[in-house]
Amino acid sequence: FDQAITHSKLYDSDIRRLVSTGLSTEALFFELAIEDLTRAAELFAPIHERTAGVDGWVSLEVSPLLAYDAKATVREARALHEKAHRGNLFIKIPGTREGGPAIEEAIFSGVPINVTLLFTRDHYLAAADAYMRGLERRVEAGLSPDVRSVASFFISRWDKATLDKVPARDRDKLGIAIGQQAYAAYRDVLDSDRWQRLANCGARAQRLLFASTGTKDPKASDVLYIGALAAPNTVNTMPEETLLAFGEHGRVDGVIPPGGGDSEQVLAEFGRVGIDIIELGARLQSEGAKSFNDSWQDLTKAIEAKSRAFK
């Protein structure tokens, strides 16, 4: 939305129409977003129905300014879910420490959640735990546990952050190893007694989603993270140019082994050359939240400027 609203005239007529309603800048944006995403949800509805809710989803994020305010995040997630009124719309909530209680509460409320800004295995496990807590509360309350979720795990920023800090032999390997480690944790969760109890009650798995899978290093393959992160029951939200490139010359030679392949050995090598995975993961999450905030500020400023021009 930031690029489309700020750098084009695609939304100008809609902004002009909504300015007269007296909505705040944030409310005006969500009107635009919900109009677009409900149309997208309708287009994907046949896929959603045909796959029994597995595929055919779209996502709308809460204000990134709420990333560290759990109660406000839950309020906004519920409000957006009710306003959109589409069964195949995820609400995005950042997987920060403060996001955990918000994810649990939103799931308990029946709101499908896309957990974003996950960078480490511990981030993923915290998101999975919050999801299962919400489902367990629903089961205890006599409610259906069939509330869907994905856990969005960010990949390419790892390699961008370490590109000039590691030997040439280690470049562009960290993101894949981190993703494979997360997949091993995902399989462990699905094999756990805790998850099996929920599945027996009718719950569906929170799928692991690999995000930020466009290659940042111009010297690396433009489909670096696609074949390497192929795995059953996962999602890869690649940019359009990456999708087209993979269709042209990509290949899948196998899938991630359930135990994560050689990810632990690769991560140990990065530790030996001075990369602190825990510290870097925390920094990437913090920087990701700030980047979302900055984009949000740019977006609201653009809407404010256009709103003034159209009055």
Which CA distances in Å does 18 have to 10, 28, 31, 58? 14, 7, 8, 23
Angle at 90 between CA 138 and CA 237, to 5 degrees: 130
Q: Which long-range contacts (CB under 8 A, 24 or more apart) does 235-243 make?
A: 235/150, 235/207, 235/208, 235/209, 235/210, 236/209, 236/210, 237/152, 237/209, 237/210, 237/211, 237/213, 238/213, 238/214, 239/213, 239/214, 241/214, 242/213, 242/214, 242/215
Task: Report how far residue 90's alpha carbon sits from residue 113's, in angstroms, rounded to the nearest whole number.
Answer: 5
Q: Of these residues, 9, 83, 92, 306, which one is catalytic?
A: 92
Q: Which candidate, 61, 142, 48, 53, places its Cα nearest to that of 95?
A: 61
Q: Which candidate, 222, 212, 221, places its Cα nearest to that of 242?
A: 222
SS3 5: helix
Task: Report how far residue 42's alpha carbon sits from residue 29's, in angstroms, rounded to the nearest whole number.
Answer: 20
The DSSP bridge pattern shows strands 149-154 and 207-211 to be parallel
SS3 102: helix
Q: Give the start-end residues of each E strand in the chain.
A: 58-61, 89-94, 113-118, 149-154, 207-211, 234-236
- 311 a catalytic residue: no
Catalytic residues: 92
